[in-house]
Structure 1
């Protein structure tokens, strides 16, 4: 199975190569315009980041568990930004 570092690196590459900013990426994947990413929206992000289909659902669940600070099982812009900042710090 892909390690956390590989998965986070693939997400960083996706955002860096396809969007002007993390906020643009967030808005792109927030397909319903709710201001939060649902598990299905996170799975779409993982698919675009070329994460294996077999583990996408599990990875999405783990990302929500790890970054959902308010317990609503969604990822808000603030939570997404925190995750991106952590990914960026780990790549230095």
Structure 2
């Protein structure tokens, strides 16, 4: 399993084990309620998913690069859902 697959699997396990729905997970990590996940909010999600602090910043950047379709450096619900859909495949 590649590092990307391992990280995505840990995120999937976090969401599956601790939240009823992906929407609940998104709302939980959207601390400021702006309907978007900032870098700090994504880092919090990764910390909860037990992603090492050493690579958390790199992974945050890569997640934003991979899923931020409108280039605002934030992850919207639609972008988050696209990531979850990819994980679920």
Q: TM-score, normalised by structure 1?
A: 0.94
**2:68 is equivalent to residue 65 of structure 1:** no
Aligned to 2:27: 27
**2:48 is equivalent to residue 48 of structure 1:** yes
Residues 44-87 of structure 1 deviation map (CA, whole Å, 9 limit, x = unaligned) = 00000000000001000000000000000000000000000000
Indicate the structure with greater helix content: 2
- Quote the offset at 1:29 in angstroms: 0.2
- Find runs of 4+ consecutive structure 1 residues off by over 2 angstroms: none
Aligned to 2:80: 80
Unaligned runs of 5+ in 1: none
Q: TM-score, normalised by structure 2?
A: 0.97
| Root mean square deviation of aligned Cα | 0.8
- Quote the offset at 1:43 in angstroms: 0.2
